[in-house]
Amino acid sequence: MEANISNKSKAAIPLIEVNVSDTEVDPGLRKPINGISPNEKDKIRRTYYECGVRGNNETFVNKGYRNWKMPERLGDHIGKHNSIHSQCQKACEDLMNRKQHVDIAIVNQLDQLKHNYRIQLVAAIDCVKLLLVQGLAFRGHDVSETSRNRGNFLVVLKFLTSHSPDIKDVFKNAPENNKLTAPSIQKDITNACAVVTSNAISLELGDGVFSILVDKARDISNKE
C-alpha cells in the first residue's frame, strides 16, 4: 500500500519541459533538476558543462576559476542584482559591517536612553535644589493638567524646559511613566539632598564640639 501511494505521489509531480537554448546559467534562478523531464536532463547537464559552469559549483568553490581567457563567464555566474551571488555578496558585506550588527544597535540605543535619562534627572535635581534653598513648597492642591497652578516644582521645571530646547525635547519624547515628575520621585531627590547636606555638615564639623538649640515654646494646642 505504501509503495503504491509513493508511486502515485511521484507520478503526480508535473514534469517541466525545458528549452536548452534558454537555459539559465545563474544557479539561483535555475529550475530544480528533479522537476525537469528525464529526456531533457542530460541535455541540461551538457549545456551547463559547455557553458563552463558546473551545476555543483565546484569551479568557484573547490577548484577555483581558471578560465581567464573567457572572463565573460564571470558575469554569467554573478548574474543580475537579484541573483543568488549578489544576495550572498550583500549578506557578506552586511556581516562584515560591525555597525549594522544587532548587539551594536542595542548598545547605541541604550547609550542614548542613558543620556536622555541623565538630562531629565539633572533637570529635576536642579528644580528640587532651588525649592529647597528658597524653602518653598513643592506641590499645590491641584497638580492636574487643567490646573492653572500645578505647584512650584512643575512650574519651575516647565520654565527650565522652555528655555532649553534639548531638555524640552527629552521630556517631550520621554514615556509617560518616565517623566521624573511624580511626588515619589520628588521625595527621593529631596531625601538624597538631605543626606548629602548632612554629610557635608558632619564633614565640616569633624570631631569638634557643637550644640543644638531647642525651642521650648508650645504651639497653640499646648500639646507640643
Question: In this predicted model, what pLDDT tens digit does every residue of 170-199 receive, in sequence order?
Answer: 888 888 778 888 889 999 999 999 999 999
Cβ-proximal residues to 35 (8 Å cutoff; 6+ apart), any chain: 13, 14, 15, 16
Q: How confident is the model at residue 103 (pLDDT cuts 50, 70, 90)?
A: confident
Dihedral (C-alpha) 152, 154, 159, 165: value to the nearest 10 degrees?
A: 160
The arithmetic mean of pLDDT across residues 61-66, rounded, is 59
Distances in Å between the Cα of 204 and the Cα atoms of 170, 181, 191 are 38, 33, 20
d(CA 142, CA 217): 34
The C-alpha cell 543568488 sits at 84
d(CA 159, CA 127): 10
Residue 23 has pLDDT above 70, yes or no: no
Distances in Å between the Cα of 136 and the Cα atoms of 51, 75, 195 are 88, 78, 19
Average pLDDT value over all residues in the chain:
75
> What nine digits make up the cell of 99?
555597525
Per-residue buried b or exposed e for 97-108, using 16+ beta carbons within 10 Å of the residue's own CB: eeeeeeeeeeee
The sign one gets for the Cα dihedral 50, 53, 54, 59 is: positive
Taking a C-beta distance cutoff of 8 angstroms, is the pair 31, 16 a contact?
A: yes
Judge if pTM exceeds 0.85: no
Q: How confident is the model at residue 2 (pLDDT cuts 50, 70, 90)?
A: very low
d(CA 97, CA 62): 26
Q: How confident is the model at residue 127 (pLDDT cuts 50, 70, 90)?
A: very high
